[in-house]
């Protein structure tokens, strides 16, 4: 009965175009020439039937799952695929038992874990002994930086492979392949000029998203004279708005680019990264805190008003929220980017902190010590202190004796 039910399920499934056109061989795999090319180290290892554990790190739709399956096919390995979202330690144990059975039959096993960054430390630790003794090989996939999401013990046992977003040339081939498949298996089609470039721009390196657009736009397009007429307008109406990709890594990357643009005086670039963070749903208070940091770290006393403007921008976004808060943020971004720069403050405090950490930790001179209590003078505390406002010309020592002449500021 189970087989009958399974057959009925398969008959009624609507398999997405992206799954139908998933590459079946390494040679058909597009867009990752930095990883898979005729003489690439990974391909050379696969040709010798050597396996090693890897984590594929890349944006959605760049081919992580596909490449893992192709590696298993290329090396004739048993392929077990699970998702970190729906699996746990029990599933890992089950995979280990299957891997042992395959070893007894002379076959290696690849355990593919999608979204491996979703695993807890305990779940990741459960993989370690089996990678160590060679029971199975791990291929994990993640959209997040493994350095932040994968435990060090597991990272030391795998090779992290960075996959790039699919380039425009490869994306064009993938999209054309999708159109060709639909035209062959359903109805002929005619594409308006600009459709290909429009989809490439929308997809931004995500092949799965591009093929989903192709499929949906094809079946949503007008049918005239037994032919589909696909236009840019149809795609615009279907997609409406492209969600901005913004992973944890991109959060850090964008914040870094934002602050460096402010520091470098490029107001236009800073405004762009501000807009990117706003569209991605970044907390506007986080953005304002970056402005405050830059106003002190990179501008300081070269233009003290920059700090006031950054602080007021923070208060404004707290009062207004978004979308109105975008305006005071933009105002502050432009001011901070154009302001005269000086890193004297951050250099001064960091230099002093470094000295103290290195052991240059000395007590204040006796005449500067607290003398507000009755017995202080008995110890010599405060004796000889001169009140500077009444004696502005008096040359008084303030540095500890051991640091006389030490300069932290630039004047």
Torsion angles phi and psi, residue 370, rounded to 5: -60, 130
Cα gap 168→166, rounded to integer Å = 7
Residue with tokens 């790190």: 57
Mind listing the pLDDT tens digit for each residue in 83-100? 999 999 999 999 999 999
For 109, the 3-state DSSP assignment is strand
Q: What DSSP state is assigned to residue 304?
A: T
Check: CB of residue 134 under 8 Å from CB of residue 140: no
Torsion angles phi and psi, residue 146, rounded to 5: -60, -25
Measured N-to-C along each axis, helices 207-220 and 195-203 cross at an angle, to the nearest 10 degrees, of: 140
pLDDT value at residue 48: 84
How many CA atoms does the CB half-sphere of 330 hold within 13 Å? 12
Can you list the positions of beta strands (E) in 65-201? 78-83, 109-114, 137-142, 159-162, 189-191
pLDDT value at residue 326: 95
**Cβ neighbours of residue 88 closer than 8 Å, sequence gap 6 or more:** 123
Mind listing the pLDDT tens digit for each residue in 60-85? 999 999 999 999 998 999 999 999 99
Q: Which domains does the chain have, with CATH numbers?
A: 32-162 (3.40.50.300), 168-239 (1.10.8.60), 248-343 (1.20.272.10), 362-403 (no CATH)
Q: What DSSP state is assigned to residue 407?
A: -
Cα gap 115→84, rounded to integer Å = 6
Q: Which residues, given as ranges, of the chain have pLDDT below 50? A: 1
For 310, the 3-state DSSP assignment is helix
pTM over the 0.85 mark: no
How many CA atoms does the CB half-sphere of 145 hold within 13 Å? 10
Check: CB of residue 112 under 8 Å from CB of residue 65: yes
Cα gap 362→404, rounded to integer Å = 11
For 308, the 3-state DSSP assignment is helix
Q: Calculate Rg over the CA atoms of the chain.
A: 31
Cα gap 45→67, rounded to integer Å = 14
Torsion angles phi and psi, residue 356, rounded to 5: -65, -40
Pick from 161, 158, 162: which is nearest to 136 by CA? 158
Partnered with residue 81 across adjacent β-strands are 112
How many CA atoms does the CB half-sphere of 310 hold within 13 Å? 26
> 3-state DSSP helix/strand/coil percent for the chain, to nearest 5?
55, 10, 35
Kind plus residue range of the DSSP H or E element containing 229? strand 227-230
């Amino acid at each position: 009965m189970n087989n009958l039910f399974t057959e009925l399920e398969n008959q009624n499934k609507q398999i997405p175009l992206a799954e139908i056109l998933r590459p079946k061989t390494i040679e058909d795999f597009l867009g990752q020439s930095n990883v898979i090319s005729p003489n690439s180290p990974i391909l050379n290892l696969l040709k010798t039937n050597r396996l090693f554990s890897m984590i594929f790190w890349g944006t959605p739709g760049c081919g992580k799952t596909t490449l893992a399956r192709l590696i298993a096919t290329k090396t004739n390995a048993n392929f077990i695929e699970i998702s970190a979202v729906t699996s746990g330690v029990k599933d890992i144990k089950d995979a280990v038992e299957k891997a042992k059975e395959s070893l007894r039959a002379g076959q290696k096993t690849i355990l593919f874990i999608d979204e491996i960054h979703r695993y807890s430390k305990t779940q990741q630790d459960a993989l370690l002994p089996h990678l160590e003794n060679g029971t199975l090989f791990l291929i994990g996939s993640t959209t997040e930086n493994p350095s932040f999401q994968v435990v060090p013990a597991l990272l030391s046992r795998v090779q992290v492979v960075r996959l790039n977003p699919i380039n425009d040339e490869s994306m064009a081939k993938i999209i054309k392949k999708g159109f060709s498949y639909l035209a062959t298996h359903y109805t002929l089609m005619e594409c308006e000029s600009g459709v290909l470039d429009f989809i490439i721009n929308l997809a931004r390196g995500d092949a799965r998203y591009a093929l989903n657009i192709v499929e949906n736009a094809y079946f949503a397009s007008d049918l005239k004279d037994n032919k589909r007429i696909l236009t840019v307008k149809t795609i615009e109406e279907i997609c409406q708005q492209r969600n901005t990709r913004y992973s944890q890594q991109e959060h850090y990357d964008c914040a870094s680019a934002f602050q460096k643009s402010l520091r470098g005086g490029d107001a236009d670039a800073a405004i762009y990264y501000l807009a990117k963070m706003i569209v991605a749903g970044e907390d506007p208070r986080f953005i304002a805190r970056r402005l405050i940091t830059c106003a002190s770290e990179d501008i300081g006393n070269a233009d003290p008003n920059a700090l006031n403007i950054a602080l007021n921008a923070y208060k404004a976004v707290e009062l207004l929220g978004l979308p109105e808060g975008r305006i005071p943020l933009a105002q502050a971004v432009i001011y901070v980017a154009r302001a005269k720069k000086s890193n004297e403050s951050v250099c001064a405090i960091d230099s002093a902190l470094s000295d103290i950490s290195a052991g240059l930790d000395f007590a204040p001179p006796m005449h500067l010590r607290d003398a507000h209590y009755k017995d202080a003078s008995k110890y010599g505390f405060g004796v000889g202190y001169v009140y500077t406002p009444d004696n502005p010309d008096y040359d008084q020592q303030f540095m500890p004796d051991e640091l006389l002449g030490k300069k932290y500021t630039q004047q």
